[in-house]
């Protein structure tokens, strides 16, 4: 059994679906079901005995310890987090609680559990911590991409809380010898992406005839990776990663935000043209920039490619085409997640923009 935390969120649910789809070990899925967690993502597993869903908090030590012992967990993959930069600007406390205190609690529970194991069980145990490229801060246009050795320079409450969690994981390795692995990945996109993040938000707003909000001049750059490629990289690190190492994961797809939005509009213009025959680009609206907005992220993923043989399967073009198709085929999913709490958020974040 493996324990996946945050497995009802965007990347976690893709990971669990891919993992079980590949016939791998049973999964205990621990998720608090915050606004970002959604059991609908896991509907296809409703009758699957290899998926045990538990609603709960990674900061609950009694619960985490009992799950580890009861299910004889051989690996933990920690996705659970507050993950949205804009929300962290409005209210950082949940980010400190889950990303820092929650990860601390998971580490402590795992340390006790692993400490009591012996023989092969002890040797095989792994704690894989899923992190982000945002811990490295912002790059100038001409700087080389982040390597694993880049200094940590987080700029938002979100990235600072993730950086803190990475440091805890590192310390639990060096101090207690815990068998940990850390992955730092670039921006993901794909199915089940909550429509508060750029790509699903733009698809959703476009189809609803609403403004497509671009922060500042839209020239900020992100390195985009299709979510199933992130999931395959995590499986690869879990299987073959060297204990204590960190691995950067990225798609080598650096795009300015405005170009990403243009790509979405082009795909929608072709697949679901507006009734008036005009382009969705007409809906683009420039809005106030995000405070402390990082200019550019770019990942050097040569270590995982060289040492573990991982490569992304999707290009930006193929991944975006699949993503837009998925959202067109699953408009009900977006309708369901964009209920009351979502509308309150949009009103707070985009005040005066509509
Ligand atoms: P998400 O916000 O979609 O999902 C997070 C999940 O964690 C939700 O299901 C939520 O209910 C759950 N959760 C939150 N607090 C919890 C708690 N205290 N206990 C248990 N469960 C809790 O996030 P995501 O985009 O799927 O990101 C998953 C992980 O990957 C995060 O750690 C994030 O930092 C990291 N990451 C994300 C990206 C990206 O582009 N989305 C890129 C790199 C790394
Ligand atoms: P986002 O998807 O929130 O991911 P992150 O901040 O973790 O990179 O944002 C991606 C980029 O898109 C980021 O530079 C902010 C920008 N952005 C907009 O321009 N408009 C929006 O409405 C949102 C949500 C993001």
3-state helix, strand, coil in the chain (%, to 5): 50, 15, 35
Ligand 1, atom nearest to 83 Cα? 2
Specify whether the CB–CB gap between 41 and 29 falls below 8 A.
no
Q: What's the average model confidence in pLDDT over 157-172?
A: 98
133 is catalytic: yes
pLDDT digits (tens, 9 = 90+) for 195-221: 999 999 999 999 999 999 999 999 999
pLDDT confidence of residue 342 = 64
Q: Residue 35 sits in which domain range?
A: 2-189+226-252+296-314
32 lines ligand 1 (CB under 6 A): yes
What count of other Cβ atoms lies within 10 Å of the Cβ of residue 221? Answer: 19
The C-alpha atoms of residue 28 and residue 67 are separated, in whole angstroms, by 8
313 alpha carbon – ligand 2 mean position (Å)? 24
Query: For all residues of the chain together, what is the average pLDDT?
Result: 96
pLDDT tier, 354 (very low <50, low <70, confident <90, very high otherwise): very low
Question: Is residue 54 assigned to a domain?
Answer: yes
257 lines ligand 2 (CB under 6 A): yes
Model confidence at 97: pLDDT above 80: yes
Residue the block writes with tokens 């979510």 = 227
pLDDT confidence of residue 349 = 80
pLDDT digits (tens, 9 = 90+) for 287-344: 999 999 999 999 999 999 999 999 999 999 999 999 999 999 999 999 989 887 766 7
Specify whether the CB–CB gap between 121 and 70 falls below 8 A.
no
Ligand 2, atom nearest to 290 Cα? 15
172 alpha carbon – ligand 2 mean position (Å)? 32
Question: Is residue 102 assigned to a domain?
Answer: yes
Task: At 154, list the tokens.
Answer: 């987080």
Question: Is residue 321 assigned to a domain?
Answer: no
pLDDT digits (tens, 9 = 90+) for 224-244: 999 999 999 999 999 999 999
Q: Which of 158, 186, 198 most suits a substitution to test ligand 2, by most atoms within 8 Å of the C-beta?
A: 198
Question: Is residue 58 assigned to a domain?
Answer: yes
What count of other Cβ atoms lies within 10 Å of the Cβ of residue 179? Answer: 18
Question: Is residue 327 assigned to a domain?
Answer: no
pLDDT confidence of residue 186 = 98
Specify whether the CB–CB gap between 296 and 220 falls below 8 A.
yes
Question: Is residue 146 assigned to a domain?
Answer: yes
59 lines ligand 1 (CB under 6 A): yes
pLDDT tier, 353 (very low <50, low <70, confident <90, very high otherwise): low
Q: What's the average model confidence in pLDDT over 67-72?
A: 98
134 is catalytic: yes
* Listed range (109-113, 158-162, 334-338) with the worst mean pLDDT: 334-338
Question: Is residue 325 assigned to a domain?
Answer: no
pLDDT digits (tens, 9 = 90+) for 4-39: 999 999 999 999 999 999 999 999 999 999 999 999
Question: Is residue 10 assigned to a domain?
Answer: yes
Q: Which helix (H) or strand (E) holds 180?
A: strand 180-185
197 lines ligand 2 (CB under 6 A): yes
220 lines ligand 2 (CB under 6 A): yes
Number of domains in the chain: 1
CATH code for position 90: 3.40.50.720
């Amino acid at each position: 059994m493996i324990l996946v935390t945050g497995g009802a969120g965007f990347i976690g649910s893709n990971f669990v679906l891919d993992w079980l789809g590949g016939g791998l070990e049973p999964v205990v899925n621990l998720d608090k079901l915050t606004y970002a967690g959604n059991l609908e993502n896991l509907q296809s597993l409703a009758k699957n005995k290899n998926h045990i869903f538990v609603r709960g908090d990674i900061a609950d030590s009694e619960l985490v310890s009992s799950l580890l012992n009861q299910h004889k967990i051989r690996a933990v993959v920690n996705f659970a987090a507050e993950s949205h930069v804009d929300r962290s600007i409005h209210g950082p406390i949940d980010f400190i609680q889950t990303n820092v205190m929650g990860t601390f609690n998971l580490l402590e529970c795992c340390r006790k559990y692993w400490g009591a194991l012996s023989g092969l069980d002890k040797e095989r145990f792994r704690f894989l911590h899923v992190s982000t490229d945002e811990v490295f801060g912002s790059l100038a246009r001409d700087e080389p991409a982040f390597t694993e050795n880049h200094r940590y320079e987080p700029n938002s409450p979100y990235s600072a809380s993730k950086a803190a969690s990475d440091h805890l994981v590192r310390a639990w390795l060096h101090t207690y010898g815990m068998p940990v692995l850390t992955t730092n990945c670039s921006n993901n996109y794909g199915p089940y992406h909550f429509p508060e993040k750029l790509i699903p938000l733009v698809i959703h707003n476009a189809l609803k005839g609403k403004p497509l909000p671009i922060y500042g001049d839209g020239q900020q750059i992100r390195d985009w990776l299709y979510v199933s490629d992130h999931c395959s990289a995590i499986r690869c690190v879990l299987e073959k990663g060297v204990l204590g190492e960190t691995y950067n994961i990225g798609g080598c797809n650096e795009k300015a935000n405005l170009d990403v939005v243009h790509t979405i509009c082009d795909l929608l213009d072709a697949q679901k043209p507006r009734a008036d025959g005009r382009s969705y680009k007409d809906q683009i609206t420039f809005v106030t920039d995000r405070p402390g907005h990082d200019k550019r992220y770019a990942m050097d993923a040569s270590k995982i490619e060289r040492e573990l043989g991982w490569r992304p399967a999707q290009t930006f073009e193929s991944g975006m085409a699949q993503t837009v198709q998925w959202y067109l085929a699953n408009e009900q999913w977006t309708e369901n997640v964009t209920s009351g709490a979502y509308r309150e958020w949009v009103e707070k974040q985009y005040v005066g923009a509509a």
